[in-house]
Amino acid sequence: MNQLYHVREERLPSGTLIQSGRWGETVLKQGGDHPFFFREHLLEVWRREKTTVAVSRFACTFAFEGRDQAINFAEQNEFVLPVVPVDPNAPKAKLDMLWLTWMGDAGATTDKIMEWCASYWAGQLAADIKPGASPSWEWLFACSLRVK
């Protein structure tokens, strides 16, 4: 596994634990006011009903595979932190975030969104469907991450 990076709005010192479930808590707390509320629920239903993936986006910690990807994802005033999973044996999944980006594109049909949802959870490389697409690998961990 390559070095992993987590994006955070505050700088955290080495050794700090990043607890799982923060993203899910934010989405659920804001409900329909959250811009990704419905996408995240669709992804969760799909994961539960149609996959064997043991890691929920609602209850995980996220990390990027590669510093450049984390930097590209980070917004202004966010920090890119090197991290390691606390439990290397915890369930994890390596997934291409590009599928999620396409799910939000204007003009995306229901059939396409369902296809992209399936491809995301299958861990498929988006470039397999759209040659030249640049993958954006994220890791979902069912455990905390420790800042290196």
**Mean pLDDT on 43-67:** 97
Give me the phi and psi of 64, to 5 degrees please.
Answer: -95, 145
Residue 15 has pLDDT above 80, yes or no: yes
User: Which domain range does residue 32 map to?
Assistant: 4-96+136-147
Mean pLDDT of 5-23: 97
- Asked, for residue 125, whether it belongs to a domain, the answer is no
Question: Does the residue 106 lie in any domain?
Answer: no
CB 19 within 8 A of CB 143: no
Q: Looking at the domain assignment, is residue 50 inside a domain?
A: yes
- Residue 12 confidence (pLDDT): 98
Q: What pLDDT does residue 94 have?
A: 97
In a domain, residue 120? The reply is: no
User: What's the domain count of the chain?
Assistant: 1
Chain centroid offset of residue 69 CA: 12
Q: Note if the pTM is more than 0.85.
A: yes
